[in-house]
Amino acid sequence: MSFVEYGDTIKDGDTAIVFLGHESMFPVKVQHGTVTQTKYGVIRHSTDLIGKKYGSKVTCSKGGWVFILHPTPELWTMNLPHRTQILYSTDISIITMMLELKPGSIVCESGTGSGSLSHALIRTVAPTGHLYTVEFHQQRAEKAREEFREHGVEHLVTVTNQDVCKNGFGVSNIADAVFLDIPSPWEAIGHAKSALKAEGGRICSFSPCIEQVQRTCLAMEEYGFTEINTLEILLRVYNVRTISLQIPDLGKAAEDNSSSGFDSSNPSQQGSPCANLQQGTVQFKSGVPLREVVGHTGYLTFATKS
């Protein structure tokens, strides 16, 4: 099993996604002799999972059923264990596009955190690219190495445990792109410039506060970066539903009123049958935004090494 190469059959040691519904899913490590509890009953790995195809419908002990899905970076972002606050697909998609990443690209990242963006970057640069990711926290760095190994992508990523603001990324003049998600990104701009290739490399900094953005932009200008721009991505989800509305039959009502001498201004005729005509209904699809939407996550600042 690999997050960057699809496998058809579930094997012992794989990481799989148990899908109960769009709002209910979780990862599980497939192991011979192990069972997983769900609200629909027990899933026995030896008989229910191992050897079955990904995407299979598995019946649980209580009669309910779930789907077993092959892991992807998108599914992992929705289900990973949170060691830090993470980036979600809305920001990840614009990051990979604006950094101009493709198979074969070399990317430097700091910090690794929970690995949400890391898995997406690895999938984007595979099979010939490489990710150099730096994590200041030792336990998080070790856990990231373990996950990359379990997910079959350890050959595409190098995890380093150090302070990027003091020691940099450990590489020079080879990166096509650099991504920063640290409290003081302006302190790492010089190291980012050193890691980037001689000309045309792209950099992105993610910061939740506008004061961080201001200091980072000043540092980028100081180090000669060009095309500096900051943007914010806000996701607005629409709820599509079926609505029934009455069809007004104004022509028939006007004709009936004219023929019967109905006077709408006459109180004595307000109860007339013509005033309460039965109208038909029509159904159609309507899209309305949700009452509660995801708000601010962070600012993305992009620049180019000139």
Residue 55 lies in a domain: yes
Do 26 and 62 reside in the same domain of the chain? yes
Asked whether residue 249 is assigned to any structural domain, the reply reads: no
Same domain, 20 and 156: no
CATH number for the domain spanning 20: value is: 3.10.330.20
Task: Write out the residue range of the structural domain in which residue 182 sits.
Answer: 73-230+294-303
Q: Is the pTM of this model over 0.75?
A: yes
| Count: domains in the chain | 2
In a domain? residue 245: no
The answer to whether position 115 is within a domain reads yes
pLDDT in tens, the chain (306 residues): 899 999 899 999 999 999 999 889 999 999 999 999 999 999 999 999 999 999 999 999 998 999 999 999 999 999 999 999 999 999 999 999 999 999 999 999 999 999 999 999 999 999 999 999 999 999 999 999 999 999 999 999 999 999 999 999 999 999 999 999 999 999 999 999 999 999 899 999 999 999 999 999 999 999 999 999 999 998 888 889 898 888 877 765 555 555 555 455 555 555 444 444 445 888 888 888 888 777 889 999 999 998
131 and 58 share a domain?
no
- Residue 117, sorted as left (phi over 0), alpha (psi -120 to 50) or beta, turns out to be alpha
Binding residues: 114-117, 135, 163, 181
CATH of the domain at 79: 3.40.50.150
Q: Does 101 share its domain with 140?
A: yes
Same domain (yes/no): 142, 88: yes
Same domain, yes or no: 101 and 181: yes
Cβ contacts of residue 103 below 8 Å, gap of 6+? 124, 125, 126, 127, 128, 129
- Does any domain span residue 66? yes
Is the domain of 90 the same as that of 65? no
Annotated binding site for S-adenosyl-L-methionine: 114-117, 135, 163, 181
